[in-house]
Homo-oligomer: A and B are copies of this chain.
Amino acid sequence: MQPRSTAELQAALAKVAIVLVEPKYAENIGAAARGAMNMGVSQLIVVRREAPDREKMARMATHHAVSLLDNLALFPDLETALAPFSVVVGTTARQGRQRRPPNTPRVMVEKVIPLLAENRVAILFGPEHRGLTNDDLKFCKFTSSIPTAEFTSLNLAQAVAIHCYELYHGLLFGDGAADSSPKLAATRELEGMYDHVAQLLRQVEFLKEGRAEGENDYWMNSIRKFFGRQELQAKEVKMIRGFCKQFLRYEKEKRG
């Protein structure tokens, strides 16, 4: 295959956003913006209640990456931030003794690049002190762990830089134009579907109101995992929601 043209490269990179979930230090946001900009990634999303200190961000971003800060999108919660994205990647620290994580940034990028033709991709990074929670990870189709030596905790901006570097490297040196990839359902559509599925499951008392919250969460997470593996397309999500709605309507009429 032919290497990508500059236009193809830019079109692919325009589909990617870096999402920082509750970053503590504005300096890290600025440094992450610079690292992303070096690799042609120009969308930065911050999930946080208060706007970060502009001056502290700008100092680390340098004036070259200030455009990312001007366009920085701030959201109070992750689900709203992810609504338009159909491929969500969660970054996590290497686990315990597993010296060679199977899902390195390089492996992740190989899977994600073919999807860029038809899908918007969000790469999530957790807060400095603890990383992403399981609750954050439930939105993620893929995960990515940077291999490290004993000391596993990476600086947030360096983790962003390494991921953006791998993505850019993969686009630049990888095989040519992305294969025709399916247009997957976006987070907004998927979350709507999960709401409908949960309603249906409560209706048939598969999920029970009186039950400990953890147990219902357990089943919903299993269902998320099951659907997560299916590469659901938008029209399929619509069909599943249609079925749920019809079922709920039918039940209501029957009882009413």
Contacts and interface: CB of A to CB of B under 8 A. Distances in A.
Interface in A121-156: 146-155
Given A153-B62, A155-B31, A161-B162, A172 B40 contact: no
Contact of A38 (B38, B40, B149): B149
A165 B153 contact: no
A161 B60 CA distance: 16
Tallying the copies of this chain within the complex gives: 2
Contacts of A148: 38-40, 168
B151 A37 contact: yes
B169 A39 contact: no
Nearest to A30: B155
A96 to B, nearest CB: 14
Contacts of A60: 155
A153 B64 contact: yes
A225 interface: no
Contacts of A37: 149, 151
B99 A65 contact: no
Contact of A106 (B13, B150, B168, B169): B169
Given A147-B172, A158-B161, 18 more contacts: A6-B99, A13-B149, A31-B158, A34-B158, A35-B154, A38-B148, A38-B154, A38-B158, A39-B149, A40-B148, A40-B150, A64-B153, A100-B173, A104-B169, A146-B165, A149-B168, A155-B161, A158-B158
27 contacts: A6-B99, A13-B149, A35-B155, A37-B151, A38-B149, A38-B152, A38-B153, A38-B158, A39-B149, A40-B149, A62-B153, A64-B151, A64-B153, A99-B172, A100-B172, A100-B173, A104-B169, A104-B173, A106-B169, A148-B168, A149-B168, A154-B161, A155-B157, A157-B158, A158-B161, A161-B161, A162-B162
